[in-house]
């Protein structure tokens, strides 16, 4: 962790960004583009995952980062639930649904593991580096 200097280097952010890109692809290539509320909800929640990871890291402190990672994890589970709604309304195939659902599970687990790491380490954050 000490060698990471910005959020773009974090694997959890990279994976969250990929999910967000996949959500955008669904929004722009399926009938979901006409489902205004659900479209906006999953766009916001998937974007919130990567945005909160970035915000938490860049705030520079371990405690702030843990707190905001928890919000990112909640957004991940929200996106997962919305994927079920998108699938149930036949906007995506079972194959796409399962792949994206698995991706949200992976992101959530990785965020949880990262929170545990922060809880168990003496790392204080980039703003405390001398």
User: Model confidence over 38-80: pLDDT tens digits?
Assistant: 999 999 999 999 999 999 998 888 899 999 999 999 999 999 9
> Tokens representing 71?
């919000």
Structurally, how many domains does the chain consist of?
Answer: 1
Asked if residue 2 is part of any domain, the answer here is: no
Asked if residue 29 is part of any domain, the answer here is yes
Task: Answer yes or no: is 1 within a domain.
Answer: no
Q: What is the largest CA-CA distance in the chain?
A: 54
Report the pLDDT value the prediction gives residue 47, as an integer from 0 to 100.
97
pLDDT in tens, 77-126: 999 999 999 999 999 999 999 999 999 999 999 999 999 999 998 877 77
Q: Residue 118 sits in a domain of what CATH number? A: 1.20.1440.60
- Structure tokens, 63: 């405690």
The residue range of the domain holding 58 is 7-125
């Amino acid at each position: 962790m000490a060698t990471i200097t910005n959020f773009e280097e974090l694997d959890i952010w990279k994976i969250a960004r990929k999910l967000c890109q996949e959500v955008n692809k669904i929004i722009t290539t399926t009938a979901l583009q006409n489902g205004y509320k659900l479209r906006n909800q999953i766009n916001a929640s998937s974007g919130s995952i990567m945005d909160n990871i970035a915000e938490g890291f860049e705030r520079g402190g371990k405690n702030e980062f843990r707190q905001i990672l928890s919000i990112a994890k909640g957004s991940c589970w929200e996106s997962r639930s919305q994927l079920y709604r998108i699938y149930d309304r036949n906007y995506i195939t079972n194959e796409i649904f399962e792949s994206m659902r698995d991706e949200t599970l992976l992101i959530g687990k990785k965020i949880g593991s990262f929170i545990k790491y922060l809880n168990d380490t003496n790392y204080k954050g980039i703003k405390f580096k001398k």
